[in-house]
Amino acid sequence: MKVGLKLTGACPACGAGGQGCGPWQGLKRRVVMRCTKCAKAIESELSLAAYLFVCLLSTTWGVLLFGVSVVALLTGAWLLAGGAALLLWATVLLPAQLLHGGRLKIYNPYAW
């Protein structure tokens, strides 16, 4: 049994694993990428509730931690700035990647 976080999914066309979006792409509602094996276009689209959750996380934690990072960099507190960047990744970018991880399907540009 594999234990760990599911940040990536399998391609629906060829079944190749490891298909996922980057941390900053995870903040978008719809992410389109190419499979690394078969080069087909695959997409991951969040539901409205999941996307609103990601928006809420990014606006609250993003603004707060940006302010902390600016103050820490101006005062020379490098450890605090690094901790703020790590906290931003753990509270905003990681949940966004986790939500996109299991929602892969073949891209259809004509679908709503």
Q: Give the mean pLDDT per block of 10 residues along the chain (112 residues).
A: 71 84 88 89 91 92 90 92 90 88 85 70
Comparing CA positions, the residue from 6, 34, 10 lying closest to residue 104 is: 10
Report yes or no on whether pTM surpasses 0.85. no
Question: How far is Cα 101 from Cα 99, in angstroms, rounded to an integer?
Answer: 6
Comparing CA positions, the residue from 63, 89, 39 lying closest to residue 71 is: 63
